[in-house]
Amino acid sequence: MVWPTTCSAVIQIQQDEVTLATSIRKAVLLVGAFIAASGCGILDPSGRPLLMTDRDRYIAHPVAGSGQSTLYSFTLIARFTNTTRQPLYLGRCSPNSPHPKWFVVLADLKDDSGYGPAWACGGHDQHLRLGPGASRTDTLEILGPTTFDHFSGVPLGAIEGQMRLGYELRTGTGDVACIQPPPQGLSHTFSVTVARQ
């Protein structure tokens, strides 16, 4: 690295640093303005929304098919509690859907499980609202695997192992900018084993 040796070079570097800092501040303000304009809030750090499942272990039983095309199912009861001081919203597929949109991921968050539903939802702004301190309980029928390789027919995604349930957690009813990234909206880890035929 060549260090500047003249006063003008030092001044130029300082001006560049001020310009960069100003640009960063402007970008942060623009992002904040975008979030505010879209009706989204920033997640209140005073509490962490809590999603709990009724068990730490589940057994998935065969319900249809055979061989590698066997479908497995288990029932999971989920309880979501808004522990923050702000209203939160759970995304749902359509304005009249009784349950939140949910997904099941591997516990290490590196991949989806084989139990991920294929949502085909339309855009709307009527998501499930939970005020501060409010809770809701949902009974979910988890079915999988839900996707298969088109050519080989091999199921995609793990159907056994350490997993986590997730809800689409939002800070507003607006567009996708309101959706909070994981680990927000995720449950604790639970295990799934398959009952063999």
pTM score, two decimals? 0.74
Residue 117 has a pLDDT of 83
**Residue 107 neighbours by CB under 8 Å, 6+ apart:** 161, 162, 163, 164, 189
Residue 138 has a pLDDT of 97
Alpha-carbon torsion (32, 33, 38, 40), positive or negative: positive
Q: What is the mean pLDDT of residues 68-78?
A: 95
Model confidence pLDDT, tens digit, residues 119-152: 778 778 888 999 999 999 999 999 999 988 889 9
CB 102 within 8 A of CB 165: yes
Strand segments, DSSP code E, in 82-160 are 88-90, 102-106, 128-130, 135-144
Return the minimum-mean-pLDDT range out of 3-7, 34-38, 47-51.
34-38
Per-residue pLDDT band for 51 (boundaries 50, 70, 90) equals: very high
- Measure the CA–CA gap between 162 and 118, rounded to whole angstroms: 21
Residue 160 has a pLDDT of 96
Average pLDDT over the chain reads 79
H or E element at residue 150: none
Tell me whether residue 56 is exposed, middle or buried, using C-beta atoms within 10 angstroms of its C-beta: 0 to 12, 13 to 18, 19 or more.
exposed
